[in-house]
Amino acid sequence: MTSSLHHRRTRIVATLGPASSSREVILSLAEAGVNVFRLNFSHGSHEDHADRHAAIREAEARVGRPLGILADLQGPKLRVGVFENGPVFLKEGQSFRMDLDRTPGNETRVCLPHPEIISAAQPGSHLLLDDGKMKLRVVAVSEGVLDTKVVVGGKLSERKGVNVPDVTLPIPALTEKDRRDFDFALSLGVDFVALSFVQRPEDVQEARDIADGRAWIVTKLEKPQAMEALEPIVRLSDAIMVARGDLGVELPPEEVPVAQKRAIAEARRQCKPVIVATQMLESMIESPTPTRAEVSDVSNAVYDGADAVMLSAESAAGRYPLESVEIMARIAARVEQDDEWRARMDKVRFTPEDTIQDAIAQAAWQVSCTLQAKAIAAHTKGGRGALLMARERPHCPILALTPDINVARRLCVVWGTFPHVTEHERTAYGIEELAAPAAELAKTLHFCVKNDRVLVLAGRPYGHAGSTNTLRIVTA
């Protein structure tokens, strides 16, 4: 890798699937710059995911750096029923009934096997069918029945998806399938669990209770209701994902970029990593090169300061998974060399909270700029010190030193953070004993050369989570 690629701040999440399940491909993706691998539990068996998990851990040993693994739960899937004679064509202005009757549908009605939707909908509510291709407006609600008018027509096939953008549905974010998948993912030892269909903070709290610290909870922002409760949802999450596919179905398309920027800003304010996902290099499913619009889209997320950008079908089912990772890494690395990108990172900074850790992180940013330090080595037990340092968006890489491999893997999604597992486990170490080895490691990992300055952050006594209270400047 070139120096710019090696020091790339923006992390890459890549989804595994039929095109990328072999050990050889997973290793090549890791070598190309993937930081976190996503296991999509909407597809594949538990055995498939277990095999991929094992292959990732083998690749981790080969590349010599931590790799994160994210289990993405499917969430509730709301769908219409079946039709008696195949697809029907809905015409604008026609009446169309949706009910609980399991009888196959026709041109005038279909089963909607979700009583929660019928009970929550009101006249004026809208239903979106087949990823938003068709739109219905509810005109009347009766026992087990929605009478609607077709606003946007089209061909409706059986079991197509239903979205209800303007109603909070009394449906839990975790289905029985999700609970089984959740337990299995935790038994594998994944680092992150992504939660779909979040509408309210309570959905996130339920997932946190299940995880019980065994994995970080990544909340997917894909419902308008989640955007309305953004601040408390981010507060309860360990990280968030801007899932622009589903969000784009339920929000007007012009609102999606605004929601993305809001989410990135709020996540950074609360010191939580944020992943921008969906259709980033969509054309590379079939093409070896992206469109210029896609390159601009990835660049925009990097300019906004997203912690990570994600590949979905591009790496899971596309013809060019490796090329997709390589071009995404190149785009991010190029943007990060731009003076305008640096100016944006410096401009958007936040008032620290009244804690020693916050004050040390802000001071380290200033000192590293003044002295043109080449690296910040942050000793962290639980990861909080590295997260606080990353929020400052320093000019130099953050070498996150932790004795816990699980913490190191979770930090793989954090902007500008390069986690490394140390052998220090005793609590007797002081900053003096930690500084020189940290600077030597920074040299070994090619973050600096002899006589460069390195900042070292640690807590006294060493080894206590949340105790970062010391900043030392050392010469490599």
Task: Classify residue 47 by burial, with Cβ atoms within 10 Å: 0-12, 13-18, 19+.
Answer: exposed
Question: How far, rounded to the nearest angstrom, does the alpha carbon of residue 40 sit from its chain's CA centroid?
Answer: 12
**Peptide bond just before 461 cis, omega within 30 deg:** yes
Q: Is 409 a catalytic residue?
A: no
**Angle CA(317)–CA(131)–CA(134) in degrees, nearest 5?**
145
Tokens of 459: 């807590």
Q: Is 103 a catalytic residue?
A: no
Do residues 36 and 412 lie in contact, with contact meaning Cβ atoms separated by under 8 Å?
yes
Tokens of 342: 């640096």
Residue type, 265: A
Tokens of 114: 């979700």
Choosing from 8, 9, 52, 220, the catalytic residue is 220
Choosing from 11, 38, 268, 393, the catalytic residue is 38
Choosing from 77, 79, 137, 261, the catalytic residue is 79
Choosing from 278, 380, 417, 468, the catalytic residue is 278
Q: Is 380 a catalytic residue?
A: no
Cα distance between residue 304 and residue 345, in whole Å: 8
Q: Is 384 a catalytic residue?
A: no
Cα distance between residue 40 and residue 46, in whole Å: 11
* Residues designated catalytic: 38, 79, 220, 278
